[in-house]
Amino acid sequence: MLPFDYERASTVREALAACAGSSEMPPTGAPSQFIAGGTNMSDYMRLGVTRPSHLMDINLIQDASLRTIEIGSLEIRLGALVRMSEVEDHQEISRRCPMLPESLKVAASRQIRNMATLAGNVLQRTRCEYFREISWPCNKRNPGSGCSAMDGFNRQHAVLGVSDACIATYHGDFAQALIALDATVEIAGQGANRRIRFAELHLQPGDNPEVETVLRPDEMITAIVISVPGWAARSKYLKIRDRESYAFALASTAVALDLDGDIVRDVRIGLGGVASVPWRAVPAEDVLRGKIFSEDLASKAADAAFANAKPREHNAFKVALGKQTLVRALMEVREMKL
């Protein structure tokens, strides 16, 4: 690991100020970077993938709202430094919207979830093996060097939202529930604070896979705000993986279903393990909305979700698996007794 200076911020302003000198985009390439739970950062620093010369520890920022879960009648506000395990264990959130805690419970291990923060979680970087091992060419780690996964062992890689430069999967689970619910992200900046839709936070790889989010180095996520419709009680997170626990998704889905008898009044679908960024399956939602629910309709929706899939040599199975996962989740939420 390269040497770095360690600093601890006591206010958000202080944290931002220290990272202000780096006009360099993106934050993951800046000399000054934040560390929260550290479970992604320490790993990628040890691997030599991320090389900040200055690390800003944001865990002891005094502002209590960063650590607070606020449950309003319509909105849930989750502070950026809330740990994954706190939401996983939250009974009220579980009652209102089961897919939120479920998506956290099946991620990583309890030890990691006790350390990892919600903001750090949504910003976790890809597990592409070629990205992690610095001797391989990789456009995301070393822009312009090529993509080793394209014709390499790409079983874990994405089939949706990919480009000719990068096919890395976004591996997070929680983000799929957030994108399905069209969550909002609150961001503190040097100049001004802003709020963006969670769906706008991550960027597809395009020609510049090294730019992963719209965040600037001197911006910090302070909270995630989710408006939870009453019908989100009929929701679930389903994750399919190589082993039953402590593994990243091969395919997963966050599904919330609003039923009027058998008619689909509304539906939200997030897809994990198959796309380059958190993925909302809008075409699938459009197939379902306003129709009478059936397995056949669910299967048509799944076809629509993967209509633009671009599989490579070893990951074509993800198209079939992704569709099956979505159909199964839809069938299971339909059967939920509320």
Applying CB under 6 A, the residues found at the interface with ligand SF4 are 126, 128, 130-131, 138-140, 147-149, 166-168, 209
Residue 277, CA atoms < 13 Å, CB-side half-sphere? 21
Please report, to the nearest 10 degrees, the dihedral formed by the alpha carbons of residues 327, 185, 66, 226 taken in order: -50
Tell me the three state secondary structure of residue 256. Answer: strand
Binding span for ligand FAD by CB under 6 A among 17-25, 120-128, 283-291, 316-324: 120-128
Binding span for ligand FAD by CB under 6 A among 31-39, 152-160, 303-311, 312-320: 31-39
The residue among 53 and 308 lying less far from ligand FAD, judged by its C-beta, is: 53
Among positions 93, 147, 211, 221, the unique one binding ligand FAD when judged by CB under 6 A: 221
Distance CA 290, CA 260 (A): 10
CA distances, 73 to each of 77, 180, 240 (Å): 11, 19, 33
> Taking a C-beta distance cutoff of 8 angstroms, is the pair 168, 157 a contact?
yes
Task: Determine if 80 is a binding residue for ligand FAD (CB under 6 A).
Answer: yes
The residue among 179 and 250 lying less far from other proteins, judged by its C-beta, is: 250
Rg (alpha carbons) of the chain, rounded to whole number: 20
| Joined tokens for residue 125 | 């970087």
Task: Determine if 107 is a binding residue for ligand FAD (CB under 6 A).
Answer: yes
The residue among 154 and 184 lying less far from ligand SF4, judged by its C-beta, is: 154
Considering only residues 241 through 300, tell me which ones interact with other proteins, judged by CB under 8 A. Answer: 244-246
String marking each residue 201-220 x if it binds ligand FAD according to CB under 6 A: -------------------x
Among ligand SF4, other proteins, ligand FAD, none, residue 80 binds (CB under 5-8 Å by kind) = ligand FAD
Residue 316 burial (10 A CB sphere; 0-12, 13-18, 19+): middle
Which residue number has the CB closest to ligand FAD? 120
Among ligand SF4, other proteins, ligand FAD, none, residue 5 binds (CB under 5-8 Å by kind) = other proteins
Listed in sequence order, the DSSP H helices in 53-109 are: 84-88, 91-96, 99-105
Among positions 19, 45, 93, 123, the unique one binding ligand FAD when judged by CB under 6 A: 123
